[in-house]
A = this chain, B = another copy of it.
Amino acid sequence: MANINNVAKKARVSIATVSRVINNKKYVATKTREKVMSVIEKLDYKPLYSAINLATKRTGNIGFIVWGEHFSEIEKFYSQIFLGMEYSARDSDYYILLTTVKEKFNPKEDLPRFLKYKDVDGVALAGRVPTSLIEYLENQGIPFILIDYGIPDKVCNSVVMDNYNGAFQAVDQIVKSGKKNIGFIGGSYFHPSVKDRYRGYKDNLKSNGLGDSEYFDKFSFLKNVETSPEIGIQGVKHLLSQNIGLDAIFCCNDTTAMGALSELKKYNIKVPKEVSVVGFDDITLSSFCTPSLSTVRVPKLEIGKESYRLLTEIIANPDSTPQTSIIDVEYIQRRSS
């Protein structure tokens, strides 16, 4: 394995010059540069990461932390976001280290190794993460961004999708299709995404002259637990038992909608004729289930790429004021509505 000394010797220059060539620095004569390049090529020389990192005191790593339950969920939501970051990172100088944290998180014991050893230049936190973890990062001064999450009363660098408008548009489509009694099924309502989707749902109905607080009381099923098909099942059971002439359901996400669909089937209720169903996220399964699910597509890879951009920007410029990137979403019409 060739090193910088071999290259320098063979090119008859000093290692400083080789270093300048590698890093595309000024003050290298064109001829010298070409000479060095050709030797690098010939020897198949690649600089050693650990040596660079030691010398520059950057780690070249970015941490990606996601709550274990989220990563194991049916939907590949966060895995796709991770992949989006990975796509960006591989074209640059970073590795992305993925790890999960537990719900019951204790910064003393459960700290990801790359944090304990300060072996990352920055961290991306995907989805809901323990508050104590965020506090730890702030105290340690490690740059971080939140993806698809937010903390009340705290401004952080973050990347989110346009939950409010996505929901607003989706509900608008439902209304336009002639439905009047539109339910909402949602889990983990403390989650800002779910909150914003609920807000979009309500605001649209209000603007269409359909909803008031009594309406929302009747037509909302909210549970403060992690979203799952189970929530959808419970939601359908509840809404139907109310006898309120339910003719459509907007679910806080596709996973929940899957449960709702299966439960409606049990009651032999025709979708979308009797009750139409719309989800949010556009997970892979949504186009495969029957009937295929109308939903709001969230561009996961794009979120990942934007996250990478933002995080590296913050790493390079740690004292900039916090920014929030909002990623556009798109309503997808399928068979369930």
Contact = CB atoms under 8 A, between A and B. Distances in A.
A262 B289 CA distance: 7
A50 B59 CA distance: 7
B73 A284 contact: yes
A116 B47 CA distance: 10
Contacts of A288: 74, 229, 258-259, 262
Given A54-B51, A258-B288, A288-B258, A86 B98 contact: yes
Interface in A114-159: 114, 116-119
Interface string A90-104: 100001111110000
Contacts of A49: 50, 53, 59, 117, 119
A79 B83 CA distance: 11
Chain multiplicity (copies): 2
A112 interface: yes
Contacts of A290: 262, 265-266
Contacts of A53: 49-50
A220 to B, nearest CB: 23
A116 B98 CA distance: 21
A71 B51 contact: no
A126 to B, nearest CB: 13
Interface string A209-246: 00000000000000000000100000000000000000
A118 B79 CA distance: 26
A80 interface: yes
Contacts of A114: 95
A113 interface: yes
A266 B335 CA distance: 14
A86 B59 contact: no
Contacts of A83: 71-72, 100
A229 B284 CA distance: 11
Given A54-B48, A73-B284, A265-B290, A100 B86 contact: yes
A180 interface: no
A29 interface: no
Contacts of A284: 72-74
B116 A46 contact: yes
Contacts of A259: 288
Nearest to A259: B288
Given A73-B284, A76-B76, A262-B290, A113 B90 contact: yes
Contacts of A46: 116-118
A49 B119 CA distance: 7
Interface of A: 1, 46-51, 53-54, 59, 61, 71-74, 76, 79-80, 82-83, 86, 90, 95-100, 112-114, 116-119, 229, 258-259, 262, 265-266, 284-285, 288-290
